[in-house]
């Protein structure tokens, strides 16, 4: 990964530079018009957030059962990324909703469950920071719970009455919209992989620094 | 901290957050079509699928869509860039601190 980091970073940067032009060229949606363009960043970021929550959950499970510190480092990094991506989703969604629905926020199943998912990962990060000894295992449990929440968030639009577009939107996208959407998704997945790598490296370095301090004290 | 305490805490957190999610997800039952007193639903904004058009539809309210789109995209860029910079800054701080501690160990713990 170390060798591939720079080429992948260049590709990701190029994709993010191209993305606005590709989105601009995509057709308008018949009922929502220009504001629907938020979809090309909002939905791929939400999907990347789900991937990130899964990575955190799997890392947490591995850490809980095997006590591998590497898995814990990946989990805490993915939790932070889920939190960052989550706040983007929770801000861009209402900006779209204000024009499309006439309101900034609705306490419906999708929006509320997404907020709960984001709060779960906030709880994870707060536990890691202020939980004291043993908080890594406790946080791993929260990470598992966060991962378990993802399918509920995804299916909530199909089960409960909601204003939010259903899951059928993405598979039925017209060709002019499909290309930009998957292009942006790929760009965000690449961004996720790169930042996860960087953030995991930071955790590893912190552990090494802690070991160095212990060595210095001895 | 024992495993039992950890498990109990996890269970407690799951119950609290799960309860909050269930309570917030409770919706009133959908109105029956024959019920004349039922409130009319606002028109849904392309819930089932998106229909592409070449021209922008006529504006129906005064909220400027362009400003909302610009804010959304600017927010995404600022957040992503800010986050990458924050990781970079933290990584540089840790690397600097590591070099400093390594030097201290190298000089036998004496401060230079």
pLDDT, tens digit, 9 for 90 and up, residues A47-70 = 999 999 999 999 999 999 999 999
Residues of chain A with Cβ-Cβ distance to B109 below 8 Å are 216
Say if B59 is an interface residue toward chain A (CB within 8 Å). Answer: yes
Residues of chain B with Cβ-Cβ distance to A156 below 8 Å are 25
Residues of chain A with pLDDT > 90, as a percent, come to 82
Task: Tell me the per-residue pLDDT of B58-93, one tens digit each, with 9 for 90 and over.
Answer: 655 556 889 999 999 999 999 999 999 999 999 999
- The predicted complex's ipTM stands at 0.92
Task: Tell me the per-residue pLDDT of A110-139, one tens digit each, with 9 for 90 and over.
Answer: 999 999 999 999 999 999 999 888 899 999
* Residue of B50, B91, B102 lying closest to A202 (CB–CB): B91
> What's the predicted TM-score (pTM) here?
0.80
Residue A193 CA to residue A52 CA, distance in Å, equals: 9
* Residue of A120, A166, A201 lying closest to B91 (CB–CB): A201
Let me know: does A114 contact A154? Beta carbons within 8 Å: no
Cβ of B90 within 8 Å of Cβ of A202? The answer is yes
Residues of chain A with Cβ-Cβ distance to B79 below 8 Å are 84, 87-88
Let me know: does A149 contact B21? Beta carbons within 8 Å: yes
Say if B39 is an interface residue toward chain A (CB within 8 Å). Answer: no
Distances (CA, A) of B108 to A4, A207, B102: 38, 22, 10
Residues of chain A with Cβ-Cβ distance to B43 below 8 Å are 31
Q: What is the mean pLDDT of residues A87-113?
A: 93
- Distance, in angstroms, between A132 CA and closest chain B CA? 10
Q: How many CB atoms lie within 10 A of CB A45?
A: 25
Say if B15 is an interface residue toward chain A (CB within 8 Å). Answer: no
Residues of chain B with Cβ-Cβ distance to A163 below 8 Å are 42, 44-45, 47
Cβ of B52 within 8 Å of Cβ of A137? The answer is no
Say if B84 is an interface residue toward chain A (CB within 8 Å). Answer: yes
Helix (H, G, I), strand (E, B), or coil: what is residue A29? strand
Radius of gyration from C-alpha coordinates of chain B: 28
- pLDDT value at position A153? 95
- pLDDT value at position A31? 86
Residues of chain B with Cβ-Cβ distance to A16 below 8 Å are 80
Nearest CA in chain A to B42: A101
Let me know: does A44 contact A188? Beta carbons within 8 Å: yes
Cβ of A95 within 8 Å of Cβ of B72? The answer is yes
Distances (CA, A) of B19 to A75, A110, A116, B22, B23: 25, 16, 11, 5, 6
Q: Output b/e per residue, B23-60; b: 16+ Cβ within 10 A.
A: ebbeeeeeeeeeeeeeeeeeeebbeeebeeeeeeeeee
Distant-in-sequence, close-in-space partners of A38: CB < 8 Å, separation ≥ 6: A92, A95, A96, B68, B69, B72, B73
Cβ of B25 within 8 Å of Cβ of A109? The answer is yes
């Amino acid at each position: 990964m170390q060798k591939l980091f720079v080429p992948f970073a260049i590709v990701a940067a190029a994709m993010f530079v191209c993305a606005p032009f590709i989105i601009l060229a995509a057709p308008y949606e018949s009922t929502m018009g220009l504001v629907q363009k938020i979809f090309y960043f909002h939905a791929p970021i939400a999907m990347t957030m789900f991937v990130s929550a899964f990575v955190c959950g799997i890392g947490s499970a591995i850490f809980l059962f095997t006590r591998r510190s590497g898995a814990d480092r990946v989990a805490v990094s993915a939790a932070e990324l889920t939190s960052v991506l989550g706040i983007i989703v929770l801000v861009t969604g209402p900006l779209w909703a204000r024009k499309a629905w006439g309101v900034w926020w609705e306490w419906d199943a999708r929006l509320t469950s997404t907020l709960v998912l984001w709060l779960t990962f906030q709880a994870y990060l707060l536990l890691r920071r202020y939980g004291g000894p043993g908080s890594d295992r406790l946080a791993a449990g929260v990470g598992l719970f966060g991962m378990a929440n993802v399918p509920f968030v995804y299916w909530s639009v199909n089960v409960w009455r909601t204003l939010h577009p259903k899951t059928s939107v993405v598979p039925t996208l017209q060709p002019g919209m499909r290309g930009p959407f998957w292009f942006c998704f790929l760009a965000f997945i690449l961004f996720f992989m790169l930042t996860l790598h960087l953030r995991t490296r930071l955790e590893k370095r912190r552990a090494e620094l802690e070991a160095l301090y212990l060595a210095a004290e001895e | 901290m024992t495993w039992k305490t950890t498990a109990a805490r996890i269970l407690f957190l799951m119950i609290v957050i799960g309860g909050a999610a269930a309570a917030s997800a409770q919706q009133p039952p959908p109105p029956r079509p024959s019920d004349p007193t039922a409130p009319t639903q606002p028109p849904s904004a392309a819930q089932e699928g998106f229909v592409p058009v070449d021209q922008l539809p006529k504006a129906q309210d005064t909220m400027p869509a362009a400003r909302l789109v610009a804010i959304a995209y600017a927010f995404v860029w600022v957040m992503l860039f800010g986050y990458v910079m924050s990781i970079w800054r933290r990584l540089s701080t840790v690397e600097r601190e590591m070099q400093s501690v390594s030097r201290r160990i190298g000089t036998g713990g004496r401060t230079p």
